[in-house]
Structure 1
Amino acid sequence: MTHNDAPGLPAAGSGDLPAVGFPELHWRSAGPADLDAWAELIARTAAAEQPVWFERRADLEQIMESKNNPVGPNTVLGLDSGGVPRAYARLTKNKDGAKAHGFCAVDPKWQRRGVGSALLSWLEARTRQRFAEDSGANVAGADGTGPVPRLRIFIEQKQQHQCALLEESGYEVVRYYNEMHRPLSAPLPEAPLDHGLKLVPMEPGLSEAVRLAHNQVFADHWGSEPRDEESWGFVVNDPLARPDLSAVVLASSTGEVVGYQLASHDPETAVARGFTEGYTDLLGVRREFRGRGVAQALLADAMRRFAAAGMDKASLDVDSENPTGAMALYRKMGYAPVNTSLAWDKVLQP
C-alpha cells in the first residue's frame, strides 16, 4: 500500500477543507503512517537549506497527539506519483489566540515550481476557517463580527528565497529575533542569589507551578499567548528537553516560583554546526522579583550545567525588542548574536 492509499485520511479540499492549488501533486492530510516519510521530507529540505532547527520524527509524533490542533484538518501532504511526500503545510492556533502559525516545507527538487505559493494560499484559507470555527461566527469583514484573521510565519533571515516569497505574497516583517551564543571556554560568571531565594532542579512536580509563572511572566511580551496544559506539555515533554540542565528559583519562605530556566540539547546539531550547545528554551522571572539578579543566577547556573555536560556553547533566542531589556543582560553575560529570524505577518481579508 502506498502513502496515497493510506486509509481514513481526508484529501485536502475534501468536505469543508480548502484545496491546494497545485495539481501536479496529490494532496491529503497527514496521518501516523506518514511519520517516517514526513520526517524524511523535512530532513531533505533541511539538508539543502541548513536551518538552525527543524522538526524530526519525535517532534512529529508529538504533533500527532495534539487535541487543540488535530493533524487531520490542519495539515496537508503533497505526494508525487510514487507516493513520496514532496511538500507539506501545517497550521496551529490557540482557540482564543489573535493569530495562527504556519509551517511548511518543499522538497528541494520541487522548489521554484509554485508549490510554496500554493501552500501559502492553503494556509491562509485554513487560517480563515480556524478563526471562524474558534469564534463561532464568520470572520471579521464577512458580516462585521469576529476577529480579523492573522497568519504568522517564522523564517531565518538567511532563507532569502522564502523571505522573498513571503514579501511577494503580501506578508510584512513584524519582529526580529536574535540567536545568541556564549562560549563556555571563557570564564563563567558568578551570580549568587539574594537572601530568601533558592535554586532547585526542574522536576515534574514543579511543572504546573512553572507554567502558571510563565504565563504571568510573558503576559506583557509581544506576541505571547498563555500556554495551556497541552502546549506546555510540548515544552516539558519535548524529545530534546533536558530537565537536568534546567533549574527553578523558589522563594524560600513560601516555595512559590520566582524564575525558571528550561533547557534542551540536540546532539544531532553538533554534526551540522561543528559544536555542541545547551539551549535555553525559556527563561523568565516574575515581575515582582525582577531587579534582584534572578535571571543572571539562572543563566550562570545554566552555563555551569552545560559546561559540566561537555557543551561548547550556551545558546538562546531573544526578541530584539524584549520589554525587559533582555538583550543587554545577555550581552553582559557574554552572549553575542549569531543569527537572525524574522516574524512575518499577513492580515487576511475575506
Structure 2
Amino acid sequence: MTETSPLPTVPHLPAGWTPRTPALADHGALVDLVAAHQRSVRGSSSVDPEAVASAATGTASWTRRQVLAEDASGRVGAWASVHDRAAGRSVVEVVVAPEEAAADALAADLFRWAATTALEVAEQRGLPGTQLDSGAYATDERQRGWLADAGYRQTRTWLQMSRPVDASEGEPGALPPAREGVTVRRVAAHDDGLPVAADLQTVHRMLEESFADHFNSYRESFPEFVQRLREDPGHRWDHWWIATIDVDGEQVPGGALVGSVLSPDENGVEGSYIDYIGVHRRSRGRGVAKALLHTVIADAARRGRNRVGLEVDADSPTGADGLYRSMGWVTKYETESWHRDVTVEAGA
C-alpha cells in the first residue's frame, strides 16, 4: 500500500476534484501531464522522467510542498508545488492538463493555495514575507493569463539556447585555447571521488559575486545552493569547473561553471547543460567565459554527447546572449519570469 502525507494547507478545489500529495504511483501520470502541457505550447516535449520523480517524491520533494488535483475517476488533472528555494524566495509551479474543462478554476485555486503555503514557509523561517517566483513559456497565453489574474507581474524573458556538439571537438586543439593567464580546471576531488569542500565554496562565492549586479539577484546560502543542485538527477560533481586568472604571478579565482547531464533526446543521446556560468567583475574582458564554455563543449564531445544547453537573460547586462550566439548557440524557445511579493501581515 502506498501512503501519502497529509497536506499542511488543504486547497479549495472545484466540485468533483480532490487534493492530495503525490505518491510513487503518480510518476507516470505526472510525466504525461507535463509532457502534454509542453506539447500544447511548444509542439514537442522534453520531459525528464527522473526529474519529475525527484520533484514528486524523491530528494527534490524534501524542499517542496505539493498538491495534486484528482477528479472523481482518479485522473490527475493538475499539479502544483511551492519550492522553498531560499530565504525570501519561493518558486511556484502550477501545471494543468491542456484540455481540462475546469482548467481556469483549478489554476485559480492552486495559485491561491501556493501563495498561502509560501507564506506559511516564510513565517516558519521568521520572515515577514517572500517573493513568489513563477514562470511561463512566452507563447503560453493561458498560463500567462492565470499568472496575471493571480497577481503576478511579468519581469523577465529568458532565452533557452542549445548548441550542437561534434565528436571532433573533443580532440586536442580542436577548440581555441584559453588566453594567456587563464586556466580552467575541474573542482578538486578526494580519492573517494567526493569534491573538496574549499573548491565547492569557491564556486559558490564566484557565482554569488558574479551575479550580484544582475537582475533580481539575492543571496543564497552555501547549504541551500548545494542542496538545490544535488536535487537534480543530472547533477555530477565532475561537471563543476573553476577558472583562475594570473594576477601579479598568482592564480586567483576568476569564474566558475556548474553543469549537469541532459536526459537523452529523441535519438537516445545525452547532452550537457550549463546550470550556471559566472565571471567575476575583476576578470571580465579576459576571455574567462569563452574558456569555460570551450571546456564544457570539449568535455561533452569526449563523453559522446550531442548538444550543450543553457539559459540566458534576454536583457543580460553583460551581453552574454551575443557571446553565446557567436559560439554557435541558437534560441530554441523563450520563457518568462513572473513575480509577486506577498507578506505575512497582508496575507495571500
State the TM bucket, normalised to the shorter chain: 0.7 to 0.9
1:24 corresponds to 2:29: no
Q: Residue 122 of structure 2 aligns to which amino acid in structure 1?
A: F
Q: Is the 8 A contact 1:66 1:230 kept in 2?
A: no
Q: Deviations over 1:263-298 (max 9, x none)?
A: 223233345xx9864321111122222221111111
In the alignment, the residues of structure 2 paired with residue 332 and residue 67 of structure 1 have an alpha-carbon distance, to the nearest angstrom, of: 35
| Aligned position for 2:145 | 164
Give 1:168 shift: 3.8
The one of 324, 342, 345 aligned to 1:330: 324
Count of residue pairs brought into register by the alignment: 326
1:300 corresponds to 2:300: no
Q: Deviations over 1:79-128 (max 9, x none)?
A: 2334443321100234522x421012223453554222221121122233
| Aligned position for 2:192 | none
In the alignment, the residues of structure 2 paired with residue 277 and residue 67 of structure 1 have an alpha-carbon distance, to the nearest angstrom, of: 21
1:258 corresponds to 2:257: no
The one of 79, 96, 102 aligned to 1:88: 79
Q: Is the 8 A contact 1:245 1:306 kept in 2?
A: no
Q: Residue 115 of structure 2 aligns to which amino acid in structure 1?
A: E
Q: Deviations over 1:229-270 (max 9, x none)?
A: 244233256321355555322357766533222222323334
The one of 183, 190, 193 aligned to 1:198: 183
Give 1:318 shift: 0.4
* 1:47-66 paired onto structure 2 within 5 Å: 48-50=40-42, 54=47, 56-61=49-54, 64=57
Q: Residue 324 of structure 1 aligns to which amino acid in structure 2?
A: T
The one of 128, 134, 149 aligned to 2:125: 134
1:116 corresponds to 2:87: no
1:103 corresponds to 2:88: no
* 1:223-242 paired onto structure 2 within 5 Å: 223-225=216-218, 226-236=220-230, 238-242=232-236
Q: Residue 257 of structure 1 aligns to which amino acid in structure 2?
A: P
In the alignment, the residues of structure 2 paired with residue 161 and residue 289 of structure 1 have an alpha-carbon distance, to the nearest angstrom, of: 43
In the alignment, the residues of structure 2 paired with residue 227 and residue 20 of structure 1 have an alpha-carbon distance, to the nearest angstrom, of: 34
1:345 corresponds to 2:331: no
**Which stretch of structure 1 is more off in the superposition, 204-213 or 293-302?**
204-213
1:151 corresponds to 2:132: yes
* 1:259-298 paired onto structure 2 within 5 Å: 259-271=255-267, 277-298=271-292
TM-score (structure 1 length as normaliser): 0.78
In the alignment, the residues of structure 2 paired with residue 134 and residue 207 of structure 1 have an alpha-carbon distance, to the nearest angstrom, of: 26
Unpaired runs of at least 5, structure 2: 190-194
3-state DSSP of counterpart to 2:15:
coil
Q: Is the 8 A contact 1:264 1:279 kept in 2?
A: yes
Question: Residues 102, 158 of structure 1: CA spacing in aligned structure 2 closer, same or farther, 3 A cutoff?
Answer: same
In the alignment, the residues of structure 1 paired with residue 86 and residue 309 of structure 2 have an alpha-carbon distance, to the nearest angstrom, of: 31
Give 1:175 shift: 0.3
Question: Residues 343, 207 of structure 1: CA spacing in aligned structure 2 closer, same or farther, 3 A cutoff?
Answer: same
Identity of aligned residues (%): 22
Q: Is the 8 A contact 2:245 2:283 kept in 1?
A: no
In the alignment, the residues of structure 2 paired with residue 28 and residue 267 of structure 1 have an alpha-carbon distance, to the nearest angstrom, of: 29
Q: Is the 8 A contact 1:69 1:92 kept in 2?
A: no
Q: Is the 8 A contact 1:35 1:57 kept in 2?
A: no
Unpaired runs of at least 5, structure 1: 137-145
Q: Residue 220 of structure 1 aligns to which amino acid in structure 2?
A: D
| Aligned position for 1:140 | none
Q: Deviations over 1:196-225 (max 9, x none)?
A: x42212452232331232222222222233
In the alignment, the residues of structure 2 paired with residue 219 and residue 288 of structure 1 have an alpha-carbon distance, to the nearest angstrom, of: 13
The one of 203, 207, 223 aligned to 2:200: 207
| Aligned position for 1:222 | 215
